[in-house]
Amino acid sequence: MTRTALTSNPEELARLERDSVRAARAAQRFAAAVLVLALGVLWSIGREPIPESIGEAGGPATSAIEAPTPADAGGAADLPPQGGALVPPPPALTEAPPGMVAVPAGSFVMGRADGGEDERPPHEVTLGAYFIDATEVTVDAYLACVERGPCRAPGPRCPGPGADRPTHPVACVDWNQAQSYCSWVGKRLPTEAEWEKAARGGDQRPYPWGHAPPTCVRVAFNDRGEDPGAVRGCGRGASWPVGSFAAGASPYGALDMAGNVWEWVADHWSPDYYAESPRTDPSGPESGDMRVRRGGSWRSLGVFLPSAVRGRMDPAERNEIVGFRCAKSP
């Protein structure tokens, strides 16, 4: 049969047209599949590994802000949705400044149901990524600001036991002194919400290290109870050098988030703030007579060491068991 005879037949012409359309559609589907596969391979090659955030016993290593996990982001994993479109890759990782640890963006439950009235109700809070000091600010670091910057010397109740040791946490500084130091080094005081997330992470653990009760392996605190003659601070009767308790590290590698010295944070204190707190990046009440302190000290009983516990204090007061650490936005 000749080509002319074949193509002049109406039935044959219709069949050839249908076959041609099916072949073209199959080719389009194959090309689209190849394109999606190629883009996926390129994306996988370009993704960066996440470095370790906790160092050896000497203290936390420089860490990185991790891309939000599905639990942090509140959504599904980064898989191509139906239709073949690819989810954009996560942002590049950012190294934490020296002496700080990174806390990734995401949500956590702030407060606790079985705590004091000002710790209730527990509520979900979403924070952007930030950095926080790996340890409390030391005597040596603060005195550098006194000598070369705007900081005033610690109050007359210090130096107390151990306060002349350069690696101990500075104490006897009021809220404004703490804020001045943080500004001098290009940082700020953490908000109360930032402090609590850095201390306990996102799994509602009661302590930075987990669920086990406090011991002197993990934290400098009053392990002797109410005995007035007991030497508090795990036998030292004073603060400890910062970073002495590697076993008490928080999920992000921050040390001394419980015990050693209480820590000033940025927020004003209000007993019912949690009932009206914004759910995204809360910064505390607009005004108030008291500022919040967090974490407990070497004199504190174990009941004051859970990460949700809120303390309050006159911002002008200086106390030998109250210090601070700083935070920084990326």
Residue 319 placed within a domain: yes
Three-state DSSP class for 113?
coil
Low-confidence ranges of the chain (pLDDT < 70): 1-94, 159-164
Residue 32 placed within a domain: yes
Secondary structure letter of residue 248 according to DSSP: G
Residue 78 placed within a domain: no
Residue 82 placed within a domain: no
Same domain, 319 and 185: yes
Q: Is the dihedral of CA 183, 185, 187, 192 positive or negative?
A: negative
Find the CATH number of the domain harbouring 258: 3.90.1580.10
Same domain, 10 and 108: no
Three-state DSSP class for 123?
strand
Residue 76 placed within a domain: no
Residue 84 placed within a domain: no
Same domain, 253 and 140: yes
pLDDT number for residue 56: 34
Same domain, 128 and 267: yes
Same domain, 67 and 39: no
pLDDT tens-digit readout, 153-187: 998 877 655 666 899 999 999 999 999 999 999 99
Same domain, 124 and 34: no
SS3 breakdown of the chain: % helix, strand, coil, rounded to 5? 25, 15, 60
- Determine the Cα–Cα distance for residues 205 and 109; give it in Å rounded to an integer: 10
pLDDT number for residue 246: 98
pLDDT number for residue 95: 86
72 contacts 105 by C-beta, under 8 angstroms: yes
Closest CA to 281 of 221, 218, 329, 216: 329
Number of domains present in the structure of the chain: 2
Same domain, 26 and 66: no
pLDDT number for residue 158: 77
Structure tokens at 59: 């203290």
Same domain, 218 and 167: yes
Same domain, 286 and 231: yes
Same domain, 39 and 60: no
Three-state DSSP class for 238?
coil
Same domain, 269 and 154: yes
Residue 230 placed within a domain: yes
Same domain, 162 and 238: yes
What range does the domain containing 23 cover? 3-46
Residue 249 placed within a domain: yes
